[in-house]
Amino acid sequence: MGPDGVPVLSKPAKFIFVFRSIQNNYLTHDKLAQLVKKSNWVQEIVVYPPIEKGDTAVEFVLKENVAFSPYQPVEREGRLVLDLKPVAER
C-alpha cells in the first residue's frame, strides 16, 4: 500500500529502502547472495552506490507479493527486521 492507502502494484513485486547517513555497512555481494538463497520470498537484493551524505538505497526484488512489517528490536538497537508473509491476491 502506498501512503495514501491505494495498492501499489509492481511486477516483480519489490520495495526500496533509503537509509540516511550510513557511515559503514557490512553488506557484500556474496553475503547478500547467501541470504537470498535461504529466503522463500526474496529473489534479489540490490544495493545502490551511496547517494549524497552517505545515504544508501537497498532494493528488495520479491518472488511474489508479500505483506511486510518493519520493526527495530529493542535489544539490538540499529538493526532493522522485516517480517514477510504471503498475501492473498485481489
> Residues in the chain with pLDDT < 70?
1, 7-11, 88-90
Domain ranges for the chain, please list them.
14-65
In three state form, how does the secondary structure of the chain look? CCCCCCCCCCCCCEEEEEECCCCCCCCCHHHHHHHHHHCCCEEEEEECCCCHHHCEEEEEEECCCEEEEEECCHHHCCCCEEEEEECCCC
pTM value? 0.70
pLDDT at site 10: 61
pLDDT at site 73: 84
